[in-house]
């Protein structure tokens, strides 16, 4: 039976605390999500009962660890609807996965005069690898612009993606603007011009149903810690034929077939790309997070977050002195809300909100070209997840109003 969202609140003891004598309201989920007891318990159980290195070991603990590790791979495969478990590569995170593609497929297929197309709102993890690849290969890096309301400009995409394009790499959901991009349409546009499409799913996989087969993406990377799994674990999905043709990303143990004095052969997929001892516990913890999300249901999680956005976003947009960035229509906005308050520095806003127990992020959010595009240095950012409530949204609104009054009038909250 699917778990009720209201029941899930008890699974996160970290949220049951006070910060600065105020009830904690955690709204920094785009940076990392909190971990339910079920994930923490899975990690503890592994280390207390099954801890051993995976693959090739014949003793009982090694066999149990290997089974749990590979079972996590199958869970991820079904979670994102990949066709085969061999298309699931465990990585350190989305950043590692995107660098893997740039360093292997990109190195082998991009040459001088080719084009790489990304969007202006990319996280640095999906920008710098392509920027540096373009510099190294004397290729051209092109940016898809945004519409006036913060959506990806598909008319501009149609002009930027040409027969010279080899790679199109775009985030499924922006970590700043809250914009969801039409990945399926972009992938088709790339394929029509003979290019591949790389999706950054860091802000989408934790929050909405994702079907990589239906989207027809060639590669798709995401992080475990943003979907309530452990840190240091992530996933790269890749179409099997592309992964087969790519050289290894790293060399060493676990990824070899046979090593001779003068040459070596490589292991089969997916292990060709998993050199050395992997984050075994992290993968098992990620599998537990997948179980947790699946038990609740991604459709229900997306609907819950949308209800919160429908409630919160219009109120923030109507608040004097608050500027919200990204689509103004809540239906086109994820639970990531970037904003500024009056002429205050975002760090001052975040510090003031923290004094009210409200945790938000402030800075350029690893998206400096986007900040420059918007004419900003930084923003504050509130980001929602399945354990957030309307009471949390109200606390943010109240804390924003009190912050505004404090800086405008020098008043302090009554004790």
Give 116-153 pLDDT, tens digit per residue: 999 999 999 999 999 999 999 999 999 999 999 999 99
Distance CA 286, CA 229 (A): 5
For 265-297, the pLDDT digits (tens) are 999 999 999 999 999 999 999 999 999 999 999
Question: Do residues 368 and 378 make contact, with C-beta atoms less than 8 angstroms apart?
Answer: no
**Same fold yes or no, 5-31+297-409 and 40-295:** no
* Average pLDDT rounded to a whole number, residues 304-318: 97
Assess whether pLDDT exceeds 60 at residue 6.
no
For 203-250, the pLDDT digits (tens) are 999 999 999 999 999 999 999 999 999 999 999 999 999 999 999 999
* Average pLDDT rounded to a whole number, residues 316-327: 96
Domain extents for the chain? Answer: 5-31+297-409, 40-295
* Average pLDDT rounded to a whole number, residues 189-200: 98
To the question of domain 5-31+297-409 being in CATH 3.90.1150.10, the answer is yes
Q: What is the pLDDT of residue 415?
A: 35
Percent of the chain topping pLDDT 90: 94
Distance CA 383, CA 285 (A): 23
Instruction: Name the DSSP letter for residue 87.
Output: G
Nearest alpha-carbon partner for 229 in 154, 315, 287, 314: 287
* CB neighbour burial string for 154-165, b if at least 16 within 10 angstroms, e if fewer: eebbeebbeebb
To the question of domain 40-295 being in CATH 3.40.640.10, the answer is yes
Angle between helices 280-296 and 298-318 (to 10 degrees): 80
What band does 407 get if pLDDT is binned at 50, 70 and 90?
Answer: confident
Element containing residue 265 per DSSP (H, E): strand 264-266
Question: Do residues 340 and 399 make contact, with C-beta atoms less than 8 angstroms apart?
Answer: no
For 340-388, the pLDDT digits (tens) are 999 899 999 999 999 999 999 999 999 999 999 999 999 999 999 999 9
Q: What is the pLDDT of residue 99?
A: 98
Assess whether pLDDT exceeds 80 at residue 2.
no
Q: What residues are paired with 258 via a beta bridge?
A: 265
Instruction: Name the average pLDDT for the chain.
Output: 95
CA triple 283-284-286, angle to 5 deg: 60
Residues in CB range of 335: below 8 A, 6 or more apart: 29, 178, 207, 305, 308, 309, 383, 384, 385, 388
Assess whether pLDDT exceeds 70 at residue 97.
yes
Compare 94 and 2 and report the one with higher pLDDT: 94
Distance CA 238, CA 218 (A): 6
What band does 5 get if pLDDT is binned at 50, 70 and 90?
Answer: low
Which three-class secondary structure state does DSSP give residue 184? helix
Assess whether pLDDT exceeds 50 at residue 413.
no
What band does 1 get if pLDDT is binned at 50, 70 and 90?
Answer: very low
Q: What is the pLDDT of residue 302?
A: 98
Nearest alpha-carbon partner for 52 in 69, 38, 39: 69
Q: What is the pLDDT of residue 408?
A: 82
Nearest alpha-carbon partner for 404 in 340, 311, 329: 340
Catalytic residue numbers read 366
Distance CA 199, CA 210 (A): 11
Biggest distance spanned by C-alpha atoms of the chain: 75
Q: What is the pLDDT of residue 411?
A: 44
């Amino acid at each position: 039976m699917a778990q009720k969202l209201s029941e899930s609140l008890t699974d996160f003891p970290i949220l049951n605390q006070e910060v600065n004598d105020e009830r904690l309201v955690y709204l920094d989920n785009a940076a990392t999500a909190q971990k339910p007891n079920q994930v923490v318990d899975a990690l503890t159980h592994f280390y207390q009962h099954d801890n051993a290195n995976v693959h090739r070991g014949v003793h009982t603990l090694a066999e149990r660890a290997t089974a749990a590790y590979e079972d996590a791979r199958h869970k991820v495969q079904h979670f994102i609807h990949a066709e085969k478990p061999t298309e699931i590569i465990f990585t350190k995170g989305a950043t590692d996965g995107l660098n893997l593609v740039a360093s292997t497929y990109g190195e082998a297929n991009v040459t001088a005069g080719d084009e790489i197309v990304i969007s202006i709102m990319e996280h640095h993890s999906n920008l710098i690898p392509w920027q540096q690849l373009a510099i190294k290969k004397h290729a051209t890096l092109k940016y898809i612009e945004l519409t006036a309301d913060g959506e990806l400009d598909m008319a501009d995409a149609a002009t930027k993606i040409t027969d010279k394009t080899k790679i199109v790499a775009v985030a499924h959901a922006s970590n700043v603007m809250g914009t969801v991009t039409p990945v399926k349409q972009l992938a088709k546009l790339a394929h029509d011009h003979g290019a591949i499409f790389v999706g950054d799913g860091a802000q989408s996989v934790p929050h909405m149903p994702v079907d990589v087969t239906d989207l027809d993406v060639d590669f798709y990377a995401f992080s475990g810690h943003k979907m309530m799994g452990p840190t240091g674990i992530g996933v790269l999905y890749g179409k099997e034929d592309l992964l087969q043709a790519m050289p290894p990303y790293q060399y060493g143990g676990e990824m070899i077939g046979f090593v001779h004095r003068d040459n070596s052969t490589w292991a089969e997929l997916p292990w060709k790309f998993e050199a050395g001892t992997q984050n075994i516990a992290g993968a098992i913890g990620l599998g537990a997070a997948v179980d947790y999300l699946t038990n609740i249901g991604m459709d229900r999680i997306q609907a819950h977050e949308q209800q919160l956005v429908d409630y919160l976003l219009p109120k923030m947009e109507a608040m004097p002195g608050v500027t919200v960035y990204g689509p103004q229509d809540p239906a086109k906005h994820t639970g990531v809300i970037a904003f500024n308050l009056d002429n205050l520095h975002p760090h001052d806003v975040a510090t003031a909100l923290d004094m009210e127990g409200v945790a938000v992020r402030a800075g350029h959010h690893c998206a400096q070209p986007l900040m420059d595009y918007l004419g900003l240095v930084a923003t504050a950012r509130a980001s929602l997840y399945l354990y957030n409530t309307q009471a949390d949204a109200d606390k943010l609104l109240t804390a924003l109003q009190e912050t505004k009054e404090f800086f405008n009038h020098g008043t302090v909250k009554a004790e």
